[in-house]
Structure 1
Amino acid sequence: MQIAKILVTAAATIAAAVPVAAMAQVSLGASVEAATDERRRGISWSDGDLAPAASVRAGLPAGFDLGVRVTGTRGDPRHGGADAVAEVTGGFGGDVGSGLRLDGFVTGHLFVGAAERLDYVEGGLGASYALGPAEIGVDARYAPDQAAIGGDNLWVGARARVGVPATPFTLHGGIGHSLGSVDDPRRAARLRPGGSYADWSLGVDHITGPLTIGVDYTGTDIARDRLVASPFAGARHVGDKVTARVAVTF
């Protein structure tokens, strides 16, 4: 119910932010999802538990977009026992010819029900190239120095996906590396539980109309003996795991 209230408020805010004259050029979308574990960059954001999620998005003129995603974090100690994270994103993207696309965004991560103030802001850039059913891309995500994450954090990665011809299946995979400065080791362990580390993922999606069912394998090179002594490290949920998810888009 709390997630639904946040999304309704977000949708109203997005609608109010768009001038009436531009509404005819706006595309709206939404989705509801559930995953057996919310994994990001190889580590859990839902204490290893089932994570519901929902999102709304507005595609605006000239390649801009606004969106809000709310995900259940299930009291994860990584985020101070927060019940959910609401992520508000403003972005810009477009094709630059010959299958190449560039994207940029800024996201505010707002944690609901955390025991202390743990919100932070992150920006990102990405480039992708599509040829037929295949796509490859590179991405960078940077969170500047903030008290909530005990320093700054940079993640760089590469990804690929390909649709299997004449089937509803899409295969995808990626690798990444996280690094950054440390002002407060206790809070820096939120995003880097064992310091700088690499992550990877492999998965398959079955897509039929608005319904997507997927299975993912994620892993990291975080060693148990490298884990920082911090209540935010989420030490139980930094290793390899296979997860499942289902999503419906509107």
Structure 2
Amino acid sequence: MLAGHAVPAAAQMASDPTVTLEAASDERRRGLDWSDGDPVLRGTVSVPVAQGLSLDGAATTLWGSNRHGDADAVIDLGATYMRQLGGWRLSAEGRYHLFPGASGANGDGWGYGEVGAIAGFSLGPASMDLAARYAPRQSAIGGDNLYLSASSAVGIPGTPLTLSGHVGHSSGDVRDAPRATRLRPDGGYWDHGVALDWYRGRWSAGLRYANSSIDGPASRHAGASLIARVGLTL
């Protein structure tokens, strides 16, 4: 539920349907601002349908995102399959991203899909995840896109706080340069961030620092940012 960051293992292995409502001061993914610096509202749902398999969906307001054809929102739909092998969590996932309100009827021509694989390990209150996510060649993103990342999280003993961080790298082939700038505005680049989150019952809140290696004119909405959020899980 925290894009680009590890979440507590218990949340990842939930066996019941979960719904989360969240407000955040910005929507930033892989170091890139998707909401042009505006606050967002987000709703997510995860529904287990079989042992280890869940269907997932999320809707986030974008308020006319310049990065995504003036889209008013992004809807993420997909599925996740997870296996626990000893201390390891192995996951495979597929996602499709829709952009209602983008240029063209129903955002046609702006949606794109990606698949991913994640290997995670937990030791006491700490966890670490290595992930690869790949968007095959699609006209909507001007080529293909590969995102490799490593993330970690640790619960601070005796407190409701979790400290997490991540580093990631985006790369890919460019067939249509203007469209490729959606996900890679300056070619291949690194992003990184740290977050401090508070969990108490159904409530959560947090602060996240995000930054990227993108420089020059392309760094607009891709530089250092501090993001606040508050959420409620039903």
Q: Structure 2 residue aligned with 1:142, among 101, 116, 134?
A: 134
SS in 2 for 1:115: coil
Structure 2: distance between partners of 1:67 and 1:123:
14
Structure 2: distance between partners of 1:135 and 1:127:
11
Larger Rg: 1
Partner of 1:65: 54
Q: Structure 2 residue aligned with 1:104, among 66, 69, 92?
A: 92
Structure 2: distance between partners of 1:46 and 1:134:
31
1:56 counterpart = 2:40: no
Structure 1: distance between partners of 2:118 and 2:45:
21
CA deviations 1:76-133 (Å, max 9, x no partner) are 1100000001111111002011x11100110010110001420000111001000110
CA deviations 1:182-220 (Å, max 9, x no partner) are 000000000001000000001100111111110000000
Partner of 2:198: 206
SS in 2 for 1:112: coil
Partner of 1:153: 145
Matches within 5 A, 1:16-165: 27-97=16-86, 99-116=87-104, 117-165=109-157
Counterpart AA for 1:114: A
Deviation of 1:60 after TM superposition, in Å, equals 1.9
RMSD, matched Cα: 1.0
SS in 2 for 1:187: helix
SS in 1 for 2:51: helix
Q: TM-score, normalised by structure 2?
A: 0.90
1:192 counterpart = 2:181: no
Q: Structure 2 residue aligned with 1:179, among 171, 180, 185?
A: 171
Structure 2: distance between partners of 1:125 and 1:165:
30
Deviation of 1:154 after TM superposition, in Å, equals 0.2
CA deviations 1:3-59 (Å, max 9, x no partner) are xxxxxxxxxxxxxxxxxxxxxxx7211010011001100111111100100011101
Partner of 2:5: none
Residue pair 1:73, 1:82 contacting (<8 A) in 2 also: yes
Structure 2: distance between partners of 1:56 and 1:175:
26
CA deviations 1:157-192 (Å, max 9, x no partner) are 000100000101100000000000000000000000
The runs of 4+ residues in structure 1 deviating greater than 2 Å are none
Counterpart AA for 1:112: P
State the percentage of identical aligned residues.
Answer: 43
1:244 counterpart = 2:228: yes
Structure 1: distance between partners of 2:112 and 2:154:
33
Q: Higher helix proportion, which one? A: 1
Deviation of 1:62 after TM superposition, in Å, equals 2.1
Residue pair 1:27, 1:60 contacting (<8 A) in 2 also: no
Q: Structure 1 stretches of 5 or more lacking a match?
A: 1-25, 228-234
Counterpart AA for 2:47: A
Counterpart AA for 2:224: D
Q: How many residues align?
A: 216
Structure 2: distance between partners of 1:141 and 1:149:
14
